[in-house]
Amino acid sequence: METILKQQVQLDELTSDEVKIAAPRIMEYLKEGSKADIPELIIIIGPVGAGKTSYIESNFSKGYVWLDMARIFFDLQKNTGIRLNRRNEVMNFIGVVTLDLAILEKRNIVMELVGEELEKIDRIIDLMKTHGYNVKITVINSPDDTCFANTKPVSQKHMSSFYTENFHLDWFEKTAA
């Protein structure tokens, strides 16, 4: 009798089932962004609770690939069967592939950041300009006490950019460089 050992999935490798779950989401996110001869990257920067997500929902819901780890997280949470310990790998795969294809297809992109990593943001701006993107930054600001009063706990719709920013910055570093 021969014993067959199932090979363990390595970090950053997805199973075929995980790819089947990820692919439709990537296509869904890409369809949201319009193609342009000179595409735009819109970066919304502001403190936690300033209203960045609401601003994006109001102003960029059409015509832009909304690159957002929180959105991907909540989409994966809905009946996908992906184990919690695998969610980061799948989220990173979706984020990187979505961004890579958006850049390749010259689609407009929008994302939000807290803005604490200024050197990394400068690098993203420079990288995206080399890809022919027009980069625009909008800063949303309000007094600290107002921001923290508006902060919502992680819910089915909101997750602080405090948690998502490093994902967004890493995706650009992996993709645009």
Burial of 125 (0-12, 13-18, 19+ CB in 10 A): middle
At 157, the pLDDT band (50, 70, 90 cuts) reads low
Write the single-letter amino acid at 86: R
CA dist., res. 151 & res. 17, Å (int)? 35
pTM: 0.84
CA dist., res. 78 & res. 26, Å (int)? 16
Q: Which CATH superfamily is domain 20-176 in?
A: P-loop containing nucleotide triphosphate hydrolases (3.40.50.300)
The structure tokens listed for 69 are 């780890």
The residue to which tokens 């979706």 are assigned: 94
Q: Where are the domains of the chain?
A: 20-176
pLDDT digits (tens, 9 = 90+) for 23-45: 999 999 999 999 999 999 999 99
pLDDT digits (tens, 9 = 90+) for 54-65: 899 999 989 999
